[in-house]
Amino acid sequence: MVAHRGAWKNKNLPQNSIASLKAAIALGCVGSETDVHLTTDNFLVINHDNEWNGLVIQKNTLNDLRKKNLSNGETLPLLHDFLKIIREQNGTKLMLEIKSSVRGKVWADSTVLKVVNLGHQMAVQKWIIYISFDYEMLKEILRLEPTANVQYLNGDKTPGQLKQDGIKGADYHYTVFQIHPEWIQSAKENNIDLNAWTVNEEKDMNWLLVNGFNYITTNEPELLFKEIEKYSRSVE
Ligand code: MG
């Protein structure tokens, strides 16, 4: 059970807020997903969209971005804030999406380096699963930290290809697995973790549970929790 952008929906919290991360931890989610970008003054900022308050995060400073708060009054959070919370508990991993660079490869590499370094500094590497749509970013993470747990998001690589490149998981839109059901078996044979996003309907959750997925990423963690209980009872 991975809470997509934290557990925000049921409690009406802003997505990707510290409050939504804490709610995912309180719910006992295996993972809480979030998104990170690098600012011009080298801060790693948590936000889904490339822009915050009309400003492109990768082209602005933290000070300028923080002129607007989240709807619950939080200042725009940093990855450092999230990792401090992750470090103080032992149940929930951070599914950390490094957003694609809008400033080319040098920026992409620089972002990856800063994210990996921060994980090291704070000694939380084993509590991070890196995810990205950018395959080259994932390879760069593995070059810097060969034991890192990384999952690919874009849905255009077979489990065999992922294995060859050291990628540990296929975190694809759930319809990709419905189009390529053979990838499910192939992932299991290749020891590739199966994850699917963003699954909000009971029938889709159930299909993934029946197929033995390792992770399900959802905006509805409370609903998924119930589906998992139902499914567990049905196979007892
Ligand atoms: Mg994301």
The tens digit of pLDDT for each residue in 6-46 reads 999 999 999 999 999 999 999 999 999 999 999 999 999 99
Q: CB within 5 A of ion ligand 1: which residues?
A: 35, 97
Predicted confidence at residue 236, as pLDDT, reads 85
Going by their DSSP bridges, the two strands 44-46 and 31-38 should be labelled as: antiparallel
Output the pTM of the full model.
0.97
Tokens 């694609």 correspond to what residue?
A: 100
Phi-psi domain of 82 (left: phi exceeds 0; alpha: psi -120 through 50; beta: other): alpha
Closest by Cα among 109, 56, 171, 178 to 162: 171
* pLDDT, the chain, mean: 98
> In the chain, what are the helix, strand and coil shares in percent, each to the nearest 5?
45, 20, 35
**Cα 235 to averaged position of ligand 1 atoms, centre (Å):** 32
Closest by Cα among 162, 104, 11 to 149: 162
**Cα 5 to averaged position of ligand 1 atoms, centre (Å):** 7
DSSP label at 107?
H
Residue 80 main-chain phi, psi, to 5 deg: -55, -40
Alpha helical stretches, state H, 8-156:
18-27, 62-65, 79-87, 104-121, 135-144
Do residues 8 and 26 touch, judged by C-beta distance below 8 A? no
**Cα 165 to averaged position of ligand 1 atoms, centre (Å):** 22
How confident is the chain (236 residues) per 10-residue block, as mean pLDDT? 97 97 98 98 98 98 98 98 98 98 97 98 98 98 98 98 98 98 98 98 98 98 97 93
